[in-house]
Structure 1
């Protein structure tokens, strides 16, 4: 995998998850108690042996830069290769929408790299993939482009890229659809190709008025390339909406999903923070929940995720909820089907309840 350069494209549509992305990029949203969404793609690359990773920065890059820093926690702080930040173009170029302008203005980085292949990914997917298997498949099929897909097991809504493949994996159709159903082959926004193909696609498509990499670079020019599909049959979640974020976190509470993502041979790395273990006081009652370090629990917590430093006072009942870092839930409060962003304070005797399929969101730094 030393011949592969990883690119993580952080230009995401956040229109369906704005409550959680007002001050951060989609990929830096906290997830599963101690991680950020970008950790899954970046860790999969590192575990696969990729040592050169470029991050296409979003319009709000501060949270991403603060989390990744030098890349040390992913063993990417290196003298040669390592982690690179690729900035968005200057303001005068913002009249053109889409992500192609970002790739085009960083073409010199791709052209001067020593790697032969480019692995282009998105940072908003939750999975644990061995990309070395993808490279072998790509080479054996002699494909121009290989797309990674997952077979849907239930209905999903949003901007889904659906593909159809022949028995040998050759892609026969690609399209964007607002909804998918059980058995549909859905792209995970992972593309592997030779660098020369990637550079030619970016330059030609952008200089001919294209704006979006997927639509203008691949779908509209699909007939020009030999495209194959590679199936990842493990767990995949695309966090492109508030409902998808809530569901993916609740999925983590299922033992089989947790074991697949975190307990296998390939760990998920994240920014290290040394904190004291959880303190469970005598009045605590915790069931099927994920509690991060630094929490103090005196109340009841059921089927929920608590991030670092959360304080749960006596008499509190938390159920089916996500409570982010350093929230303070005071005496007698009831929290059910709620997402609390960082540093939220719920004062005494407050009751907050959302719907099972439409959680209530309390935004960052709010006091209720």
Structure 2
């Protein structure tokens, strides 16, 4: 494909509460066996994009560890490959990335050394499947300067945390408002953009000269009346996980057979594979409509829940409508309902956790092994 890819995976969001204390949002576990960034990486690979850069910053250790080998997404090539860029101190710059445009500008040599005519920019915190070739064909057909992938959200959905757009009859974007207090449209930007490489370099350099740092506000919104910016509407599944509620809802979507089938069918979503034994169901276990990952040991009742790798569930427990992240130990006689349990937590026996009508994030500091 005549494009290179950039995945923006360095952001933090306080709306994730304790879940983002020790990992980037792009590294959040999804659907029992994925990390969120796997979706953007797999889309790049399945679209035959051979050169992809991932820009990381906040709490990048877990994400960098996940990306330590590019072979899982078929980027282990002599030509192209997967590049991971962290902010670094240089002789003329000691800042961390001050925004998405600044992150790309600080790695502008990657763009200048490349030869692909187009750049596909994607957020690392979205769950979806997409053939970027279709958007590139649309971009060329419209003779657009920038193409933004858009999504119509259901009526009543809170869109105030997204960029909200309005298009004319020719799909050209005439209004773009970032995180509006009151939205005039239910069409949002999905965080996927196509732009010509040379034009991106020029815009990033101009932003840096004017001490501007954000790609959306300082490029897309600022140039919307000067450049030909078009919207491409996607109809397929798409979800952003940047709040506790949306993260919970996205994972619960994977309990629906049609969603699991959609993401497991070709082209598939790929992820790093751990060498773990299959889940073990002991006498007394009872599992209904749940996803149980490899390495788990189940001794009790699990219903409408997702258990990620190496979770242990003790005896006489009830886990209902919950998400249990990696390497969690749950003691005997524990009740968990409408909760997200943080990874490597230890829940002592005879405890009760419930989110009530909402979602509770359980973040315990109990020591698992006490002498």
Q: Does TM-score exceed 0.5, indicating one fold?
A: yes
> Alpha-carbon deviation of 1:162?
0.9
> Alpha-carbon deviation of 1:58?
1.3
Q: Secondary structure at the match of 1:270?
A: coil
Taking structure 1 as reference, are residues 89 and 251 closer, same or farther at Cα in structure 2, changes over 3 Å only?
Answer: same
Render the CA deviation track for 1:301-322: whole Å, top value 9, x for unaligned. 0110001111112211000111
Q: Secondary structure at the match of 1:156?
A: coil
Match of 2:166 in 1: 164
**CA-based RMSD:** 2.1
2: CA distance between counterparts of 1:170 and 1:269?
34
How do 1:86-105 and structure 2 match up within 5 A?
A: 86-90=85-89, 92-94=93-95, 97-105=98-106
> Alpha-carbon deviation of 1:246?
1.2
Q: Secondary structure at the match of 1:348?
A: coil
Q: Secondary structure at the match of 1:222?
A: coil
Match of 1:37 in 2: 36
Match of 1:7 in 2: 6
How do 1:282-293 and structure 2 match up within 5 A?
A: 282-293=283-294
Pair 1:69 & 2:68 matched: yes
Taking structure 1 as reference, are residues 180 and 220 closer, same or farther at Cα in structure 2, changes over 3 Å only?
Answer: same
Match of 2:150 in 1: 149
> Alpha-carbon deviation of 1:207?
0.9
- TM (norm. structure 1) is 0.94
Q: Identify which of 194, 197, 218 aligns with 1:195.
A: 197
1: CA distance between counterparts of 2:107 and 2:8?
12
2: CA distance between counterparts of 1:336 and 1:81?
46
5+ long unaligned stretches in structure 2? none
1: CA distance between counterparts of 2:351 and 2:74?
45
> Alpha-carbon deviation of 1:143?
0.7
The answer to whether the 8 A contact 2:164-2:189 is kept is yes
Taking structure 1 as reference, are residues 263 and 158 closer, same or farther at Cα in structure 2, changes over 3 Å only?
Answer: same
Taking structure 1 as reference, are residues 119 and 321 closer, same or farther at Cα in structure 2, changes over 3 Å only?
Answer: same
How do 1:137-286 and structure 2 match up within 5 A?
A: 137-153=138-154, 154-157=156-159, 159-178=161-180, 184-260=186-262, 262-286=263-287
The answer to whether the 8 A contact 1:278-1:295 is kept is yes
The answer to whether the 8 A contact 1:291-1:305 is kept is yes
Match of 2:328 in 1: 327
2: CA distance between counterparts of 1:295 and 1:124?
26
> Alpha-carbon deviation of 1:70?
2.8
Q: Secondary structure at the match of 2:99?
A: coil
Number of residue equivalences: 366
5+ long unaligned stretches in structure 1? none
Taking structure 1 as reference, are residues 276 and 309 closer, same or farther at Cα in structure 2, changes over 3 Å only?
Answer: same
Q: Secondary structure at the match of 1:24?
A: coil
Pair 1:51 & 2:50 matched: yes
Taking structure 1 as reference, are residues 366 and 143 closer, same or farther at Cα in structure 2, changes over 3 Å only?
Answer: farther
Taking structure 1 as reference, are residues 95 and 316 closer, same or farther at Cα in structure 2, changes over 3 Å only?
Answer: closer
1: CA distance between counterparts of 2:97 and 2:314?
51
2: CA distance between counterparts of 1:363 and 1:43?
34
Match of 1:359 in 2: 360
> Alpha-carbon deviation of 1:274?
2.1
Taking structure 1 as reference, are residues 179 and 155 closer, same or farther at Cα in structure 2, changes over 3 Å only?
Answer: farther
Q: Secondary structure at the match of 2:284?
A: coil
The answer to whether the 8 A contact 2:340-2:359 is kept is no
The answer to whether the 8 A contact 1:8-1:55 is kept is yes
Q: Secondary structure at the match of 1:223?
A: coil
Match of 2:317 in 1: 316
The answer to whether the 8 A contact 1:324-1:341 is kept is yes
2: CA distance between counterparts of 1:330 and 1:352?
13
2: CA distance between counterparts of 1:364 and 1:116?
50
Runs of 4+ in 1 over 3 A off after TM superposition: 178-183, 363-368
Q: Secondary structure at the match of 1:85?
A: strand
